[in-house]
Amino acid sequence: MRQHYRIVIVACCFCILFINQGLPATSFNVFQSYLVAMPGVGDLGGSLVLTVRSFVSLVAIFFVSAFYRRFSLRVGVAAATAFTAAGFLAYSLARDLALLCLGSVLTGIGYGFGGVVATTMLIGNWYRGHIGTVAGAVGMGSGVASMVMPLAVAAVIARSDLSHAFLMEALLALGLGTVVVALLRSKPQDVGLRLVEEPAPAAPPAAAAPTRTAPEPSAPAAPARHPGKVHVGAATLPRADKRLMLAAMVLLGAVAIVGNGYFSVLLTSSGIGLETAALLTAALGTSLTLSKLACGWVFDLAGARKGSLAFFTVLIVGLLLCSLAGPGGAADGFFAAVFFGVGVALATTGVSVWTLELSAPRDRLGMVRDFQVAYAFGGFAFNLMPGALANATGSYAISYALFAAAAIACALIVGIVYKRRNLREALPLS
């Protein structure tokens, strides 16, 4: 069993993202249509609920490196999960905007300390190669939440009320989190194992006879690597490239956090019924879940740069379809959900891979913290924008057109940074 404990860690990370990211963020959009209809809440109040969670998660992520230097990953995940469960309990008791915001404070803490930061560090502790596929499998946790929870929430609300739907999620977070904490170990040494480095690929057979065109030996060759497979990095980005990546994280946070958070209300405000909107939100979750694993596999096969640009293309198409979802009704909404869900897998799988590949081990905690702070800041800074534009124009569609422009800028930045990185790696061999 111990020899296969890495699989247990993947399952634990999957559940961590299901609880601390999937419940309070990825699948929370299904609640938005119900929240804006509550007395004293409305469009701006619904935006405030999301903004509070985004702000608190931003603050929590800012302190996450200090937090995990003081506490083990296992202890940190346990605390984060407890905050998430308490947040949904507060939501279940809420009768006004103030208690809804308190729930967002608690779930924001859970998201910040127990989301992608924790799982990325765990992957880095337990794995060296195939990190794209591993990150994709782990990232499916939040995707499964967005696939399953909208339908479950709609069913509970139909039979009971909104309060019981929130209570269901509180109990789910508490129960599943207890199992995770019981099984989770921060590093292989905690179960008496050593981290085994991935063996380098075998060298090709030597030619039968040397040729006159064989290159002269020069500098020592870098360790052999699969040409497309992503690996834990050995060097950290230069400051200029890191600043570019942080700007990309801000834009991606706006697209993924805010765009996903308002998807359900985008549909209902366009004339689509609540039950149909819940089904389309579940379709988004389904495509997101499947694409996270596919994203990691593509990254390992083609490399992070090509894989990123491919998924950015799908994301941009999805956002443009979102901006046109109203006139076409449920049919356009379905295609918008699928394309957006596939592309937004970059927000979990992509960010984890970029963090692990673009940082040296000694800098990893700081890099994942900085990336996640920028990502969360993007979600916070733009969270009020869709509600404000909807109040001014009567539509959420214009916000998704702006998100498409942000995704284009983000894709250009990631492409440039990886092109520079590849040039630096090739330079010693030239």
- pLDDT value of residue 81: 96
Number of H helices, E strands in the chain: 19, 0
- 328 class by beta-carbon count within 10 Å (0-12 exposed, 13-18 middle, 19+ buried): middle
Q: Burial code of 99-111, b = ≥16 C-beta within 10 A, e = fewer?
A: ebbbbbbbbbbbb
- pLDDT value of residue 231: 58
Structure confidence by residue, pLDDT tens digits, 5-21: 888 999 999 999 999 98
Per-residue pLDDT at 35 exceeds 70: yes
Rounded to the nearest integer, the mean pLDDT of the chain is 83
Structure confidence by residue, pLDDT tens digits, 179-203: 999 999 888 887 777 654 444 444 4
- pLDDT value of residue 102: 95
- pLDDT value of residue 340: 94
Q: State the CB neighbour count (10 A cutoff) for residue 218.
A: 9
162-183 helix and 73-93 helix, angle to the nearest 10 degrees? 170
- Who has greater pLDDT, 134 or 215? 134
Per-residue pLDDT at 242 exceeds 80: yes
Element (H, E) at 150: helix 131-159
Sorted by where each starts, the structural domains of the chain and their CATH numbers stand as 2-194+228-429 (1.20.1250.20)
What's the Cα-to-Cα distance from 368 to each of 3, 112, 198, 216, 344, rounded to whole Å? 28, 12, 23, 40, 19
Per-residue pLDDT at 344 exceeds 80: yes
- Who has greater pLDDT, 32 or 238? 238
Which of 99-103, 205-209, 391-395, 407-411 bottoms out in mean pLDDT, i.e. has the lowest? 205-209
DSSP secondary structure string, 125-138? HH-SB-HHHHHHHH
- Amino acid of residue 333: G
- pLDDT value of residue 246: 95
- Evaluate whether 413 touches 247 at the Cβ level (below 8 Å): yes
144 pLDDT tier (thresholds 50, 70, 90): confident
Structure confidence by residue, pLDDT tens digits, 317-328: 999 999 887 655
223 pLDDT tier (thresholds 50, 70, 90): very low
Per-residue pLDDT at 77 exceeds 50: yes
403 pLDDT tier (thresholds 50, 70, 90): very high
Task: Give the tokens for residue 196.
Answer: 């085994």
pTM of the predicted model as reported, rounded to 2 decimal places? 0.72
Per-residue pLDDT at 240 exceeds 80: yes
How many whole angstroms separate alpha carbon 77 and alpha carbon 251? 27
Which of 78-92, 231-245, 301-315, 372-386 bottoms out in mean pLDDT, i.e. has the lowest? 231-245
Check the CA dihedral 361-366-372-378 and report its sign. Answer: negative
- Amino acid of residue 377: F
Give percent of the chain with pLDDT exceeding 70. 87
- pLDDT value of residue 428: 52
- pLDDT value of residue 47: 79
- Evaluate whether 349 touches 130 at the Cβ level (below 8 Å): no
Q: In the chain, what is the greatest distance between 2 CA atoms, to the nearest angstrom?
A: 83
266 pLDDT tier (thresholds 50, 70, 90): confident
Per-residue pLDDT at 206 exceeds 70: no
